[in-house]
């Protein structure tokens, strides 16, 4: 029997023709890079990493592959996640909407049982019906989309989101000549790898001198974990190099836009999960095929909610109007730069807190909605890290410096304001300083406006949030597609009664097995006499529908 691995390309791709993929459409340098009509887009995503690599000024270790990308591309120095942790940030990237707009702000939603959150059931966030994942727009435009392999969007990926999402997903699995949008995730820099790699030799000198932020323990235990962070950076850089080598082997460097970025700030204590720059600030490098602005630095403010619009813009696909972000380069780039970026922190594992952040190019404003709670949130997962255990030991022994002790204060200021230019570690709260009254009022007003505009779901108790998306605690289900045959029986029209549901289909001949990839239904499907059509519908956050079979 024959197994269907990849289905035929969408009709749109066939209409384009293979020769159209490399036709330049932009030649005016003021508009941006000279791009193929349908450029490939490759995302290389490292986990849990602040801008502590040579292209961003930290020369503790060498990163030849990232340095090459930076020399041939643009370094974006003011890029921020919308959360200090991965799953909410990934929800924002995939949808182009703030996670606290779509009910995806809590870390996490789908495996709550692992943390024992009382009274809360595992659930998927339910974005508005019109929301589609970033990758689906590419598929609808004829791209091959692959994800290797991190998902974790706070909702199940839609069945039409990817051609392939697995540990073996690769652009090499596409049809010849087909453009691609491919993601590769590098987990070696994840927080957990600080302790899970402890038995493996370091890839740096065992006595490497490392920078120690003032809020961390400057002891041998603390420094050793920092060395492990840099060792993991070396390993990640090598993995990036392997993907770049494959791109060159395939002759694709001159037709591919490469993004390298990280999913939020660093993995160490007082970094990940927090809304200080140590948790939100991240590096981004974009290399264009024509090496547009090679070696330059760009200081415009960029948020994760901008990524979706930007990659669509680069592919010549008009971004949807529901997104919270802006395209900062490409055909649909907007001229107005951002004045602010925003961030949100909510439940982590079983611990509730709520913090919101607004940042401009110099000042950060934090609002603590639970000032009676301590800054430090005890999380068993993080406390596996020796550097975290060392801080706790020092706390209990009364050995913390004033900077280290700040994180362990038993209550919070209602408002915090930091001059991140002169106070990059955000240790000096100037909210009460009369000299900054105007700036405090400006950022306070901006936060109020932003939270109101997005209808911030963090203001709802999580039980109520779940009820609003899953009435009576039951996940809504997508209605099965309804098939209608044309009068001559050759064309099948599909429709789902669930608003916003996408429909996927497969065409199978006798002896074919059901594949894992669903083609996106865009137009009536021609079905031959010896074929049968399988169809499924799925709205994000809903249960996918049953599969229907239509015989011709």
pLDDT tens track for 214-231: 999 999 999 999 999 999
If asked whether residues 186 and 61 sit together in one domain, one would say yes
For 135, residues 6+ apart whose C-beta sits below 8 A from its C-beta are 94, 145, 147, 161, 162, 181
Q: What is the pLDDT averaged over residues 524-550?
A: 96
If asked whether residues 266 and 361 sit together in one domain, one would say no
- If one counts the domains in the chain, the total is 3
If asked whether residues 358 and 315 sit together in one domain, one would say no
CA distances from 51 to 75, 82, 83, 189, 233 (A): 11, 16, 16, 13, 11
**Poorest-confidence range of 175-184, 328-337, 432-441, 448-457?**
328-337
Q: What is the pLDDT averaged over residues 499-515?
A: 96
pLDDT at 22 over 80: no
Q: Is residue 460 part of a domain?
A: yes
CATH at 297: 3.40.720.10
Distance CA 330, CA 419 (A): 32
Question: Mean of the per-residue pLDDT values for the chain?
Answer: 93
Q: Which of 392, 46, 294, 386 is nearest to 187 (CA)?
A: 46
Q: What is the pLDDT averaged over residues 373-395?
A: 97
pLDDT at 281 over 80: yes
User: Sorting pLDDT into bands at 50, 70 and 90, what band is 466?
Assistant: very high
pLDDT tens digits, 149-193: 999 999 999 999 999 999 999 999 999 999 999 999 999 999 999
Which positions are annotated as active-site residues?
86
If asked whether residues 51 and 190 sit together in one domain, one would say yes
If asked whether residues 189 and 145 sit together in one domain, one would say yes
The more confident residue out of 429 and 486 is: 429
pLDDT tens digits, 31-69: 589 998 999 999 999 999 999 999 999 999 999 999 999
Q: Which of 473, 497, 514 is the last residue of a domain?
A: 473
pTM of the complete model: 0.94
User: Sorting pLDDT into bands at 50, 70 and 90, what band is 457?
Assistant: very high
Q: Which of 456, 473, 490 is the last residue of a domain?
A: 473
Distance CA 4, CA 450 (A): 47
Q: Is residue 15 part of a domain?
A: no
If asked whether residues 150 and 172 sit together in one domain, one would say yes
CATH at 508: 2.60.40
Q: DSSP secondary-structure letter at 164?
A: E
Distance CA 31, CA 426 (A): 37
If asked whether residues 60 and 43 sit together in one domain, one would say yes
CATH at 358: 3.30.1120
What is the residue range of 504's domain? 482-551
Burial 345-378 (b: 16+ CB within 10 A, else e): bbbbbeeebbbbbbbbeebbbbbbeeeebebbbe
């Amino acid at each position: 029997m024959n197994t269907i691995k990849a289905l035929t390309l969408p009709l749109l791709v066939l209409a384009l023709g293979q020769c159209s993929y490399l036709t330049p459409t932009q030649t005016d340098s003021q508009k941006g890079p000279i791009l193929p009509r349908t450029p490939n887009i490759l995302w290389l995503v490292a986990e849990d990493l602040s801008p502590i690599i040579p292209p961003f000024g930290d020369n503790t270790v060498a990163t030849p592959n990232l340095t090459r990308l930076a020399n041939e591309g643009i370094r974006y120095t003011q890029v921020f996640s919308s959360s200090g942790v991965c799953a909410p940030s990934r929800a924002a990237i995939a949808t182009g909407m703030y996670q606290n707009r779509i009910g995806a702000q809590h870390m996490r939603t789908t495996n709550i049982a692992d943390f024992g959150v009382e009274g809360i059931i595992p659930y998927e966030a339910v974005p508005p019906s019109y929301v589609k994942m970033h990758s689906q727009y590419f598929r609808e435009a004829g791209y091959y989309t692959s994800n290797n392999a991190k998902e974790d969007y706070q909702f199940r990926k839609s069945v039409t989101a990817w051609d392939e999402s697995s540990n073996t997903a690769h652009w090499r699995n596409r049809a010849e000549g087909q453009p691609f949008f491919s993601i590769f995730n590098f987990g070696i820099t994840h927080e957990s790898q600080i302790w899970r790699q402890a038995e493996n030799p370091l890839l740096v000198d065992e006595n490497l001198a490392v920078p120690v932020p003032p809020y961390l323990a400057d002891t041998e235990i603390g420094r050793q974990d920092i060395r492990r962070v840099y060792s993991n950076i070396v390993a990640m850089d090598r993995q990036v190099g392997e993907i770049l080598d494959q791109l060159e082997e395939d002759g694709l460097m001159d037709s591919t836009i490469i993004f390298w970025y990280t999913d939020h700030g660093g993995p160490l204590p007082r970094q990940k999960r927090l809304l200080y720059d140590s948790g939100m600030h991240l590096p981004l490098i974009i290399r264009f095929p024509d090496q547009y602005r090679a070696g330059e630095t760009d200081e415009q403010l960029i948020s994760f909610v901008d990524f979706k619009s930007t990659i669509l813009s680069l592919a010549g696909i008009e971004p949807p109007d529901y997104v919270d972000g802006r395209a900062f380069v490409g055909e649909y780039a907007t001229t107005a730069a951002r004045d602010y970026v925003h961030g949100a922190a909510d439940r982590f594992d079983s611990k509730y807190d709520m913090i919101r952040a607004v940042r401009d190019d110099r000042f950060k404003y934090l609002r603590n909605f639970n000032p009676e709670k301590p800054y430090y949130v005890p999380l068993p997962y993080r406390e596996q890290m020796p550097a975290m255990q060392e801080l706790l030991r020092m706390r209990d022994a009364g050995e913390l410096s004033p900077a280290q002790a700040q994180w362990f204060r038993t209550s919070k200021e209602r408002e915090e304001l930091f001059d991140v230019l002169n106070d990059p570690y955000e240790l000096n709260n100037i909210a009460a300083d009369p000299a900054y009254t105007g700036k405090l009022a400006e950022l306070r007003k901006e936060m109020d406006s932003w939270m109101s505009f997005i209808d911030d779901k963090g203001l709802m108790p999580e039980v109520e949030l779940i009820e609003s998306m899953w009435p009576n605690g039951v996940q809504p289900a997508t209605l099965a597609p309804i098939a209608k045959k044309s009068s001559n029986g050759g064309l099948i029209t599909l429709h789902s009664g669930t608003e916003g549901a996408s429909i996927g289909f497969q065409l199978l001949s006798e002896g074919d097995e059901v594949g894992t990839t669903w083609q996106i239904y865009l137009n009536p499907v021609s079905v031959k006499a010896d074929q049968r059509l399988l169809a499924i519908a799925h709205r994000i956050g809903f249960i996918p529908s049953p599969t229907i079979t239509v015989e011709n």
